[in-house]
């Protein structure tokens, strides 16, 4: 039983470390993305998003890509795209 508990703790530790490394990389790569880039350009820089969903704001349709942010940030890193042309119209850094 004790060995199982140690194994679970070790697995949790390593998975958290991997996720934390990816979140740090996301935060660093965030500054390479700029307004007007298309979705493929963002994915080339940031990698595969953890969430992609549509949003309706003030009668304008957008969709957003979410990426993990560093521990202590209030939310995910988000890139907002216009449905019309799939270009980045806003960037939220998770603060």
Q: How confident is the model at residue 33 (pLDDT cuts 50, 70, 90)?
A: very high
Q: What is the CATH number of the domain that holds 39?
A: 3.30.1450.10
Q: Which domain holds residue 81?
A: 2-92
Q: What is this structure's pTM?
A: 0.69
pLDDT digits (tens, 9 = 90+) for 47-69: 888 878 776 666 678 888 888 77
Q: Is the dihedral of CA 46, 48, 50, 51 positive or negative?
A: positive
In whole angstroms, give the CA distance from residue 95 to residue 92. 8
Q: Count of domains in the chain?
A: 1
In whole angstroms, give the CA distance from residue 64 to residue 55. 7
User: Which among 87, 92, 80 has a CA at the least distance from the CA of 52?
Assistant: 80
DSSP symbols for 43-78: HHHH-S-SEEEEEEETTEEEEEEEE---TT-SS-EE
| pLDDT higher than threshold 60 for residue 71 | yes
Range in 24-28, 31-35, 38-42, 70-74 with the lowest mean pLDDT: 70-74
């Amino acid at each position: 039983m004790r060995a199982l508990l140690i194994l679970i703790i070790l697995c949790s530790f390593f998975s958290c470390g991997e996720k934390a490394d990816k979140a740090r990389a996301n935060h660093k790569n965030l500054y390479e993305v700029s307004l007007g880039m298309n979705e493929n350009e963002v994915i080339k820089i940031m990698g595969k998003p953890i969430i992609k969903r549509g949003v309706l704001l003030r009668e304008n349709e957008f969709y957003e890509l979410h990426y993990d942010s560093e521990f202590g940030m209030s939310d995910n890193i988000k890139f907002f795209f216009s449905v019309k042309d799939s270009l980045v119209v806003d960037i939220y850094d998770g603060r």
